[in-house]
């Protein structure tokens, strides 16, 4: 194994370790919100520093690898893909931290179960988590078709985000005393939709790495 191959192997290993951490952060943010668990929320905020450290390390390692080894073809595509996936993972972790902050600093002991039900927040969370998990699996198995399949789940998140305005408006009309919590949940739904967008970005980078195809800006229809 050449030195470049060793560096790329370590780069992938570090990325997957960060990915696992971010996945756990998002899962924990779901549990913290659904159960209104402030201990879990506090742990998410604490572990955010680990995510930030991973991001800085991966950025530095990618830059050094390019400068020292001048990779080409598939090796260069992998390095560039890791750089962009790294950025998307850090932003996903930021959304998880934001959700945790709401739970941590909210004066309420819980959210109304009816509010959680009408917004389908658990289903929205689960779809976002599935996207993050499946894109990780797609890169691990170097399967671009698996990456493309995650776009279907992003469509669901987009649909739920569009519906959320009417759902939240109707809920506030019936429960004006819960308007603050309802509007916060509306904001969380939008954060989860953005997580889906970042997962789609990651899927696009996997396809770029594996197939040398650019999906951004209509380069390939997501339904192909």
Q: 3-218 — its CATH code?
A: 1.20.58.220
Q: Which residues of the chain have pLDDT under 50?
A: 220-224
For the full predicted model, state whether its pTM sits above 0.85. yes
Interval 36-48: pLDDT, tens = 999 999 999 999 9
Q: Hey, where are the domains in the chain?
A: 3-218
Query: What one-character-per-residue DSSP string does 23-73 give?
Result: HHHHHHHHHHHHHT-HHHHHHHHHHHHHHHHHHHHHHHHHHHHHHHH---H
pLDDT, residue 218, reads: 56
Distances (CA, A) of 149 to 89, 115, 144, 176, 182: 19, 31, 9, 40, 32
Distances (CA, A) of 27 to 83, 205, 219: 24, 23, 32
Nearest to 122 by CA among 38, 206, 31: 31
């Amino acid at each position: 194994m050449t030195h470049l191959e060793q560096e790329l192997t370590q780069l992938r290993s570090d990325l997957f370790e960060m990915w696992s951490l971010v996945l756990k952060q998002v899962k924990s943010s779901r549990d913290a919100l659904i159960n209104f668990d402030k201990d879990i929320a506090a742990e998410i905020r604490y572990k955010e520093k680990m995510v930030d450290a991973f991001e800085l390390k991966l950025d530095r390692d990618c830059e050094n690898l390019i400068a020292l080894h001048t990779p080409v073809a598939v090796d260069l595509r992998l390095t560039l893909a890791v750089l962009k996936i790294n950025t998307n993972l850090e932003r996903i972790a930021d959304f998880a931290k934001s959700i945790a902050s709401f739970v941590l600093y909210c004066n309420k002991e819980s959210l109304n179960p009816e509010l959680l039900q009408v917004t389908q927040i658990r289903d929205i969370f689960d779809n976002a988590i599935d996207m993050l998990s499946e894109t990780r699996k797609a890169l691990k198995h170097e399967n671009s078709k698996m990456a493309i399949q995650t776009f279907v789940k992003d469509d669901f998140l987009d649909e739920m985000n569009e519906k959320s305005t009417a759902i939240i408006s109707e809920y506030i009309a019936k429960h004006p005393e819960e308007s603050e919590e309802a509007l916060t949940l509306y904001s969380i739904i939008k954060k989860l939709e953005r997580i889906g967008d970042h997962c789609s970005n990651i899927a696009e980078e996997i396809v770029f790495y594996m197939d040398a195809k650019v999906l951004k800006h209509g380069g390939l229809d997501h339904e192909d």
